[in-house]
Amino acid sequence: MKNPPFKQLWQTVLGFEVHIELATKSKMFCGCPADHFGKAANTQVCPVCLGLPGALPVPIARAIEWCIKLGLAMGCQVNLFSKFDRKNYFYPDLPKGYQITQYDIPFCHDGELLGHKIKRVHMEEDTAKLQHQENMTLIDFNRSGVPLVEVVTEADFTDSDDSDSFLKELQQIIRTLKISTADMEKGSMRLEANISVRHPGEPLPKYKVEIKNVNSFRFIKKAIDFEVTRQIQLFESGQTPVQETRGFKEATGETVTQRVKEEAHDYRYFPEPDIPPLQFTEEQIETWQKELPELPAQIRRELITTHNLSPQYATIISADSQMLAAFLQNPTQATANAIVNKRPLQTTPTTKVDPEVVSQILAANPKAVADFKAGKQPALFFLIGQIKRELGNIDIKLAESIIRDKIWP
């Protein structure tokens, strides 16, 4: 699709809804395993996640904690009083005829990430998965009820390039918190963009087009660029875009109509009667805040200020845990160059890791030990570096294992 004339006279209005499947052992409201990927269809189900009459949901505490920690990592406020709600709609992948989610009192609200406002972070259950075949559609309920966090942003993005860095930063935070693999190919992180256009200075448009369930950063960028151009062309030809939900066709790079977009009142939200409201204490929230590990922005800042890396190198290295571990073994510019340019690092034969030396290092560095216990990953790298300085080239994984055994016998 060619760019329309006078495109510079138009401004993109763009926001996101990002769904993250949590890596809990069980589903959100029952004891069925949550790890559904690659499992035989409909083998991880029970009356609760199948929505059978009389089955009662019981929320798991770990999922709620992880949802709130993600919100705290983005500077959100936490509602000390919250609740679950029913979102009513009929679709084959929703066995109950409603989804347990959160409507007006989410767990978290009003945060910020890379200068973009986070409107809310809330908890809900995932739906079943539809498998389309030539002349039929099958339903796999293994995914039904898996805990799902939804991050909703304000519509303060201006283009697809602006959004790319935000989405990648969010994925890094999720992985740093170890609450999800955020593996987009497996559907653990799914992107939805809300898109409209306007002339600069005009109020927010009265419509928006939602692009659903995109599973890669490259595809969401293509979908946004196509959709912005499509909407501008409609306006330039005297038409107004319809408020609707569209999908993205990877083969053609186009968006296609799926269904007319619903309004909130269409879902007939009301409080979930089978789950009591939830209340948290200030002390509980403070504890979760203190348990947060060092986040990607903090790690990048440390690489730049302590190790004199360029912002570009710091971004590349901090984005990959293996790269970061390799650099911190020998934090020099030469190591950084080799890692970023993917050249093989020069190595020497490894020295046996002496547990007594590890004990001495831990005893001499109580602050690093405390930081590691608090979940700060760079503290582990520091301790390994101290062992390496004492013993020379060592087996990093073995050293980490011994450290963990010493700290948590």
* DSSP bridge pairs for 147: 125
In this structure, are residues 240 and 231 in contact, taking their beta carbons and an 8 Å threshold? no
Other beta carbons less than 10 A from residue 149's beta carbon: 26
Residue-level length of the chain: 409
- The residue among 331, 311, 309 whose CA lies nearest residue 378 is 331
Determine how many CB atoms are found less than 10 A away from the CB of residue 20: 24
Mean pLDDT (whole number) for 101-107: 97
Is pLDDT of 304 > 60? yes
pLDDT value, residue 340 = 86
Mean pLDDT of 204-226: 94
What does the pLDDT average to over 294-321?
89
pLDDT-derived band at 406 (thresholds 50, 70, 90) equals: confident
Q: Does 246 score more than 80 pLDDT?
A: yes
83-103: average pLDDT: 95
- The pLDDT of residue 382 is 83
Helix (H/G/I), strand (E/B), else coil: 198:
strand
Confidence of residue 2 (pLDDT cuts 50, 70, 90): very low
What mean pLDDT is predicted for residues 152-170? 93
How would you list the strands of the sheet with 98-101, edge to edge? 98-101, 85-88, 270-271
> Which is nearest to 84 in space by CA: 111, 70, 63?
63
Give phi and psi for 147, each to the nearest 5. -65, 130
42, 140 in Cβ contact below 8 A?
A: yes
Domain boundaries, the chain: 7-288, 293-407
Residue 4 has pLDDT above 80, yes or no: no
Distance CA 224, CA 196 (A): 10
pLDDT (tens digit per residue) in 27-45: 999 999 999 998 999 999 9
Distance CA 370, CA 178 (A): 19
Distance between CA atoms of 24 and 394, rounded to whole angstroms?
34
pLDDT of res. 350: 64
Q: Please write the tens of the pLDDT for every residue from 329-386.
A: 888 898 898 888 876 655 555 678 888 889 999 999 998 888 888 877 778 878 888 8
**What does DSSP assign to residue 252?**
T
Find, among 105, 22, 102, the residue nearest to 60 by Cα: 22
Give the residue, 154 or 376, on which the prediction is more confident: 154
Start-to-end C-alpha separation, the chain: 62
Q: Which stretch of 162-176, 267-281, 305-319 has the lowest confidence by average pLDDT? A: 305-319
Residue 49 confidence (pLDDT) above 90: yes
Helices (DSSP H) in 252-330: which residue ranges?
282-290, 296-307, 311-318, 321-329
pLDDT confidence tier of residue 103, bands split at 50, 70 and 90? very high
What pLDDT, on a 0 to 100 scale, did the predictor assign at position 81?
98
Cα–Cα dist 268/377, whole Å: 44
H helix intervals, 21-159: 61-73
- At residue 232, the pLDDT reads 95
Our measurement of the distance from residue 222's CA atom to the centroid of its chain's CA atoms, rounded to an integer in Å, reads 20
Say yes or no to pLDDT of 8 above 70: no
Average pLDDT, the chain: 90
Res 123: pLDDT: 98
At 342 the pLDDT is: 77
Pairing outcome for strands 278-279 and 81-82: antiparallel
Residue 53, pLDDT score:
93
Q: Sorting pLDDT into bands at 50, 70 and 90, what band is 120?
A: very high
Structure tokens at 395: 């087996």
Q: Report how far residue 314's alpha carbon sits from residue 318's, in angstroms, rounded to the nearest whole number.
A: 6
Q: Any idea which residue has 């390496």 for tokens? A: 388
pLDDT above 70 as % of the chain: 95
